[in-house]
Structure 1
Amino acid sequence: MMIAINLLAGLGLLFLGGHYLVQHAVLLAGKLGVTPLVIGMTIVAFGTSAPELVVSLGAILTAHDDIVIGNIVGGNIVNILLVLSLSVLIFPIVVPRNFTRREGVSVIAATLLFMALCLDGTVSFLDGLILLVGLGSFIAATVLLFPNAERQTPEDQESDRHEEVVVGTGIRRHILWIVGALAALAIGSQLFVDGAVDLSRLLGVSEAVIGLTVVAVGTAAPEIVTATIAAWRRQSGVAIGNVLGSNMFNMLGIGGITALVSPIAVHPHFLRIDFVVLLAATIGVVVIGYGARSLGRVTGGLMLAAYAGYTASLF
């Protein structure tokens, strides 16, 4: 009973914390006049990755290294094959011009870098610094490449005004909401990690599998909500930017920060199977997006089927 309570309560707090963190961070960022693509690749992506960061820090501090790597790699697989496929099934995503040649290539490069640093079986302090430098370079390049906001339609402006009324207009109010959301994330992550570890012991399943499935999907809840809402509102830049931006932050940011706290041990299983699945899925999405200029429902269905097959193979 306590396992279920910890998992459900933790997941609920992670979901609410991630939702309100993204909502109010976007409202603040919108006043800076940046594009939806930049918001998707930075504020929204990093905000929705906050649960993964807190969970990974909690796991490394309690010596559950497999959950850390499983959370990062599994979370990225969830983002590509599950989150993006659900968004595409709701409404096909039009890939912004030049997006795959810049951000797409950056995500592939980040995946290869993270894999390379894991090859010796440990993500060290120095490796963490390298990852964080890569993240800083990516953020700087994204902001410089897309500095200006897109022109809004009257309907978009009216929608934004309505949303401002709903959540409040004051900067102080947004900051308070963000602080509260971060607190919810911190508490929720601890409950969720405790429940996940206890569940793995009860079922006799390795922590690596739990990290790749239960923890990865649970902490990806904010990405699922954000990407599906963005797709529903026809915000292609936010939808695909959220997914690829979150993957960048998971590997470079979460991997880097966690490694600075303590070196991360990497089980060979991750390199033989899970990293290969992640790299193949990432390259596939980038290539299809570059060639077709859009991700349609057929592609979404195939991605969802691939995720189901991958998950089934873990058990």
Structure 2
Amino acid sequence: MLLAIVLMIVGLLLLVYAADRLVYGAAVLARSMGIPPLVIGMTVVGVGISLPELVVSTTAAINDQMDLAVGNAIGSNIINILLILGGAALIHPLSVRSDILRRELPLLLLVTALCGFVLSDGELSRLDGVLLLASAAVFMMLVIKIARAAEKEGLDTLTYEQMSELPQDSSNTVAFLWLALGFIIMPLASGMIVDNSTVIARYFGVSELVIGLTVIAIGTSLPELATFIAGAIKGEDDIALGNIIGANIFNTCLVLGLPALVAPGSFNPDAFHRDYWVMLAVSVVLSGLCLMRKHRIGHLAGALLLCGFIAYMTVLFLVPDSIAF
């Protein structure tokens, strides 16, 4: 049992590191090909933050563990808002200055509503996968369009912060090496995570859905946590919040869409009847906080979000599946 826990933690750390290096390499190559920094930040980096969730959920679905796949996607969205955003706001109030972020929020709610429609029948089909992946493509195009419009009006704070974070000096050879390393390590690490999480779930007598919603979701959300902390320390609140919003949209579209496309299957109905509604509620709360007149997420809001996280975790572990909510 102890070995399974250690191997899963090692797998999570390897996965996060490999995803970071893969995104770095992809960003360097994209920049060398003349792709605008704004587009790189909105696409390569945006998708890259959700790579751990994407790889783990796809691996789980291929292994006929759809509960783990769905739990990871939904759980990551909930944790990004309640734990990561809540904890950060409790320590340091966050200001929402970017018009791009405020324009992205309706997209987040729209994608979350689409997710509810897809999950409502208790299974993910290939048609669901195509619908979700197409939504991800549309989202990327809309965000780039919104960002370019904001630039024409005057450089938006989010685009400025994103450009400053992109790698400046690195060779294509090094970038290719990082890409190769990422593509090799990520499948191996995700296999370690999925296999050992099953062992842990059986040992503690909890469902794979709960493991996906908690342990795996927290682990795969480490990139969001790292970028959020780094952004907050530098005073780049917009890029920190932008990463959370973007990650949640990609988690919904890609992390549910790709597993559905490659290995469709059914899942625990609690994922919809209980967990989806929590995800929708926290997404609405996030939108409300960002759109308030003061455009500020303060200490009180952070404390309330953290209390929500504790309450949700308590329900998951203390209330049996199919009884909660």
Establish whether TM, by shorter chain, passes 0.5: yes
Report the Cα distance in structure 2 between the residues aligned to 1:130 and 1:151, rounded to whole angstroms. Answer: 31
Q: 1:232 to 1:89 in 2, by over 3 A?
A: farther
Q: For residues 242-274 of structure 1, what are the alpha-carbon distances to aligned partners after superposition, in whole Å with 9 as ceiling and x for unaligned? A: 111111111111211111112131322122211
Assess if the C-alpha contact under 8 Å between 1:56 and 1:254 holds in 2. yes
Cα distance in 2 for residues equivalent to 1:96 and 1:220: 24
Among residues 296, 299, 307, which one is paired with 1:297 in the alignment? 299
| Structure 2 SS opposite 1:239 | helix
Give the residue type in structure 2 aligned to 1:184: I
1:249 aligns with 2:221: no
1:58 and 2:59 are equivalent in the alignment: yes
Q: For residues 141 and 56 of structure 1, what CA distance do their matches in structure 2 show? A: 26
* Contact persistence 1:91–1:232 (CA under 8 A): no
Distance of aligned partners of 1:90 and 1:27 in 2 relative to their CA distance in 1, 3 Å threshold = farther
Write the distance in 1 (CA, Å) between the matches of 2:165 and 2:215.
35
Shift of 1:132: 1.2
Q: What residue in structure 1 maps to residue 171 of structure 2?
A: 170
**How do 1:139-218 residues align onto structure 2 when only pairs under 5 Å count?**
139-147=140-148, 148=151, 150=155, 164=168, 169-218=170-219
Q: Which stretch of the first structure deviates more once superposed, 192-201 or 83-92?
A: 83-92
1:300 positional shift: 1.7
Contact 1:90 / 1:231 at 8 angstroms: preserved in 2? no
**Count of matched residue pairs:** 306
Q: How far off is 1:223 after superposition?
A: 1.2
Asked if the contact 2:100–2:156 (Cα under 8 Å) also holds between the matched residues in 1, the reply is no
Aligned CA distance change for structure 1 residues 108 and 234 (closer, same or farther; 3 Å) = same
| Whole-angstrom CA distance in 2 between matches of 1:268 and 1:275 | 10
C-alpha change, 1:219 and 1:268, in structure 2 (3 Å) is same
Using the alignment, how far apart are the partners of 1:86 and 1:183 within structure 2? 33
C-alpha distance 181-89 of structure 1, shift in aligned 2 (>3 A): farther
Equivalent residue for 1:131? 132
Give 1:92 shift.
Answer: 2.7
**Corresponding residue of 1:87:** 88
Per the TM alignment, residue 95 of structure 1 is displaced from its structure 2 partner at its CA by: 1.5
Contact 1:128–1:257 (Cα < 8 Å) also in 2: yes
Query: Quick check: 1:232 aligned with 2:230?
Result: no
Q: Report the 3-state secondary structure (helix = DSSP H, G, I; strand = E; otherwise coil) of the residue aligned with 1:169.
A: coil
| Distance change in 2, residues 1:131/1:151 (3 Å) | closer
Q: Report which stretch shifted further, 207-216 or 86-95.
A: 86-95
How far apart are 1:181 and its partner, in Å?
2.3
Aligned twin of 2:107: 106
Residues 255 and 101 from structure 1, CA distance in 2 versus in 1: closer, same or farther, beyond 3 angstroms?
Answer: same
Q: 1:30 to 1:236 in 2, by over 3 A?
A: farther
Question: 5+ unaligned residues in a row in structure 2: which ranges?
Answer: 318-325
**Conserved in 2, the CA contact under 8 Å of 1:117 and 1:127?**
yes
* TM-aligned CA deviation for residue 81 of structure 1: 1.1
TM-score under structure 2 length normalisation: 0.86
Report if aligned partners of 2:102, 2:290 keep a CA contact under 8 Å in 1. Answer: no
Distance 1:206 1:24, change over 3 A: same
Aligned CA distance change for structure 1 residues 293 and 277 (closer, same or farther; 3 Å): same
Residue aligned with 1:20, SS: helix
* Deviation readout 1:83-133 (Å, 9 max, x if unpaired): 222333453322234345421010111011011111111121111111111
Contact 1:41 1:242 in 2 (8 A): no
- Match in the other structure for 1:283: 284
Partner residue in 1 for 2:321: none
- Matched residues, percent identical? 33
1: CA distance between counterparts of 2:156 and 2:247? 25
| 1:260-295 per-position Cα deviation (integer Å, ceiling 9, x unaligned) | 112131322122211111111000011111013122
Note the aligned Cα RMSD (angstroms). Answer: 2.6
Q: Partners of 1:230 and 1:204 in 2: how far apart?
A: 39
Distance 1:215 1:298 in 2: 28
Whether the 8 Å contact between 2:61 and 2:263 is mirrored in structure 1 is yes
For 2:70 and 2:184, how far apart are their aligned partners in 1?
24
Q: 5+ unaligned residues in a row in structure 1: which ranges?
A: none
- Look up the match of 2:37: 34
Given the superposition, is the C-alpha separation of residues 304 and 24 from structure 1 closer, same or farther in structure 2, using an over 3 Å criterion? Answer: farther
1:267–1:151: structure 2 CA closer, same or farther, 3 Å change rule? Answer: closer
Deviation per residue, 1:132-185 (Å, 9 max, x gap): 111111100111111359489xxx8xx879x75xxx521331232133123222
